[in-house]
Structure 1
Amino acid sequence: MIIYPVLKDGATIGVTAPSSGVEEELHELLKQAIERMRDQGFRVVSGKTPWTQVKAKSAPLLQRAEELNSMMQNEEIDIIIPPWGGELLIEILEYIDFSKIQNKWILGYSDISLLLLATTLTTGLATAHGTNLIDLRGEYSDDTTAMWQQVLANKTGETIVQKSSKSYQKEWNHHKPSPCVFHLTEKTDWKTLSNQPVYIEGRLLGGCIDVIHHLVGTPYGDVKTFRATQIQNEPIIWYLENCELTTTDVRRSLVQMKLAGWFEGCSGILFGRSAANTTVDDYSIEDVYREMADELQIPIIYDIDCGHVPPQLTFINGAHAEVRVEDGKGTVIQHFRP
């Protein structure tokens, strides 16, 4: 059974950095994001780790784990939103006390998706793949990003609908800040391999493929047991996004996931837009998608609003979803079914 937290008005946000913290020269960005949340009526409690960054991590692994455990067990904190992702969250997984996690949201993406997926697979607690805190520092958010609050305020048994964005950001331009953090200049176009309308449904699981495939073979990546005990072997829709991998790296990771049984009972895969996906020896990302579709005999939808090419939808790990794509536009309906 999936357990869904509920984001309430005036909720308390816990800010901790289980992966990377924020370098001193960028502290102003984090301060802006925290103030923006307070302006919206949230209470914000920050730990120490968001404000430090040494050797590719916010702090030593035990300090990161202790701060995260403290916030996860603190009944006064309603949602945890790290400042952003990073590189080495995997170091702290074995030190997280999943048995004492309270019913609260964790929101983020990139390296944070490793924590999200491990938490849902291990405990049945729904987690939220979406914006990070730093990207909420603008005077306002685009319509797609802003949906995070509505999605997380959804209650068990309720349904939330999200539409594909109208446009996306081609590249980051931190030297030209704007009232909305993202510079959305390119027309969004959700694609299917068949170039025909596609409809799929199932329970959502996913994250950044760079990091989540490292859960294969660990106690935190037991998809088979999760399916049997938490969702009664319902089909899974995997949503995946690539931060830095070449096409051959993506292929290797997907094959590893396949061999581990992660795609058993899979009804379809959604791939986010990516500025990586570097072609290797004429082997393109579309080739990867076609091979996976042929091998698994499932539909594949790609260039969706997910990941490091914003904006992105808020996907709930564990939620039952219906995904429709037609004429380059997508609709994701999420049902908060136990």
Structure 2
Amino acid sequence: MPNKLEHGDTIGIISPSSPVAAYCPIRFKRSVKELQRLGFNIKIGKNALNKLGHLAGSVKERAFDFNQMVKDPKVKMIISTIGGYNSNQLIEHIDFQQIVENPKIILGYSDFTSLLLAINTKTGLTTYMGPSLLPQFGEYGGIDPFTFYWFNKMICSGDLNGKLLPSSRWTEEFLLWDKEDIRPKKYKINPGYLTIKEGVAEGKVISGNMGAMLSLAGTQYFPDFKDKILFLEDDPEETPGSIDRYLTQFRHLEVYNKITGLVIGRFHSNVGFSDDYPLSEIIIKATEGFNFPIIINADFGHTDPMATIPNGINAKLISSRGNSKIKFIN
């Protein structure tokens, strides 16, 4: 278990996949200033602002930044600027033994979860699915209070116990970075969790982006799902068909034979689930024949706010109509 992050500690910033940070300098600077306002020192990776097509530099450049942050004794946490595609390219270029000898808090979501899952699988160290630099710390007016609460609780306080209650409000509004993001986003009332299948589950947490997680299938980095509670999220660019395909692939990989419960993060409306075949029906079909509890619309994924979810800690899921609960237990 990495040590908790304290005021005055150094956070290392890397871009393991997308080059968006290079195209949004105002948002990037604002994100860095927010972390500094919260009391942290910042180290920016040498290649964090590179761009090479859809990537923030070559594989070697991106892996170099990650490895340098791992080796630097002053860096206590590594955070990704944003998601994107192809963080999994870095996996074969990182030294897992070096990570074990120099444990860090490693934080991010979306595409970066392929790396988080590989590290957790190979080392057993806790990794954290949670806010990334640009989307959350770069918000106009600062990080959302709910997002900060869970970041502070899990990362700074090191308190891995507690109930993950639904946020009171949420937003999916996107304001074009460096042009339109000059006001707070508009929020909606959060109706809370939606129960798909009732029941009670206990197990260790495994969390990640569906596509990123499935990119590890068939490799030594794919997680062991036995007796796990699975937390899944995915992008606004996905479609009902692609989500259906991913959830079916988990079935074919016999993941549902092993897990004790399933929690799905809130999807952006751009995914476009239809009224006649909504997400709930897609999930019911994919998990047909299995009786583990399932809830959806939890506070993580590609909407805000989001909780910080530690891979590898114990959790309890109670799924019941109108009263579902998620409890982390360390």
> What's the TM-score, normalizing by structure 1?
0.86
Cα gap change, 1:236/1:143 in structure 2, threshold over 3 Å: closer, same or farther? same
Q: Which moves more between the two structures, 122-131 or 90-99?
A: 90-99
Is the contact between residue 159 and residue 335 of structure 1 (CA under 8 Å) also seen in structure 2? yes
Cα gap change, 1:63/1:329 in structure 2, threshold over 3 Å: closer, same or farther? farther
Is the contact between residue 190 and residue 325 of structure 1 (CA under 8 Å) also seen in structure 2? no
Moved over 6 A (4+): none
Q: 1:294 aligns with which of 285, 288, 306?
A: 288
Residue in structure 2 matched with residue 41 of structure 1 by the alignment = 39
1:242 aligns with 2:241: no
- Over the aligned positions, Cα root-mean-square deviation in angstroms equals 2.4
2:9 is matched by which residue type in structure 1? Answer: A
How far apart are 1:270 and its partner, in Å? 0.7
Is the contact between residue 199 and residue 324 of structure 1 (CA under 8 Å) also seen in structure 2? yes
How far apart are 1:265 and its partner, in Å? 2.9
Residue in structure 1 matched with residue 110 of structure 2 by the alignment = 110
Unaligned ranges ≥5, structure 2: none
How far apart are 1:246 and its partner, in Å? 2.3
Partner deviation per Cα, 1:284-311 (whole Å, 9 max, x = no partner): 3222211234232212101111100211
CA–CA separation in structure 2 for the residues paired with 1:325 and 1:259 = 25
How far apart are 1:62 and its partner, in Å? 0.8
> What's the TM-score, normalizing by structure 2?
0.88
SS of the residue 1:215 aligns to: coil
Residue in structure 1 matched with residue 173 of structure 2 by the alignment = 171
Q: Which moves more between the two structures, 18-27 or 62-71?
A: 18-27
CA–CA separation in structure 2 for the residues paired with 1:296 and 1:191 = 18
1:251 aligns with 2:256: no
Cα gap change, 1:281/1:199 in structure 2, threshold over 3 Å: closer, same or farther? closer
Cα gap change, 1:281/1:302 in structure 2, threshold over 3 Å: closer, same or farther? closer
1:221-240 matches, cutoff 5 A: 221-223=222-224, 235-240=227-232
1:1-338 matches, cutoff 5 A: 3-101=1-99, 102-134=102-134, 135-138=136-139, 139-146=141-148, 147-155=150-158, 159-174=161-176, 175-178=180-183, 182-194=185-197, 199-223=200-224, 235-243=227-235, 244-275=237-268, 276-279=270-273, 283-324=277-318, 328=322, 331-336=325-330
CA–CA separation in structure 2 for the residues paired with 1:87 and 1:255 = 22
CA–CA separation in structure 1 for the residues paired with 2:318 and 2:7 = 31
Partner deviation per Cα, 1:35-76 (whole Å, 9 max, x = no partner): 111122101000132212221000001111111111112221
Identity %: 26
CA–CA separation in structure 2 for the residues paired with 1:113 and 1:39 = 27
Q: Which moves more between the two structures, 9-18 or 318-327?
A: 318-327
Is the contact between residue 189 and residue 329 of structure 1 (CA under 8 Å) also seen in structure 2? no
1:184 is matched by which residue type in structure 2? Answer: Y
Between Structure 1 and Structure 2, how many residues are aligned? 320
Is the contact between residue 167 and residue 185 of structure 1 (CA under 8 Å) also seen in structure 2? yes
Is the contact between residue 90 and residue 114 of structure 1 (CA under 8 Å) also seen in structure 2? yes
How far apart are 1:164 and its partner, in Å? 1.1
Residue in structure 2 matched with residue 230 of structure 1 by the alignment = none
1:32 is matched by which residue type in structure 2? Answer: R
SS of the residue 1:163 aligns to: coil
Is the contact between residue 79 and residue 132 of structure 2 (CA under 8 Å) also seen in structure 1? yes
How far apart are 1:89 and its partner, in Å? 1.1
Is the contact between residue 192 and residue 301 of structure 1 (CA under 8 Å) also seen in structure 2? yes
Cα gap change, 1:99/1:258 in structure 2, threshold over 3 Å: closer, same or farther? farther
CA–CA separation in structure 1 for the residues paired with 2:45 and 2:17 = 13
SS of the residue 2:317 aligns to: strand
2:30 is matched by which residue type in structure 1? Answer: Q
Cα gap change, 1:262/1:293 in structure 2, threshold over 3 Å: closer, same or farther? closer
1:97 is matched by which residue type in structure 2? Answer: D
Cα gap change, 1:58/1:67 in structure 2, threshold over 3 Å: closer, same or farther? same
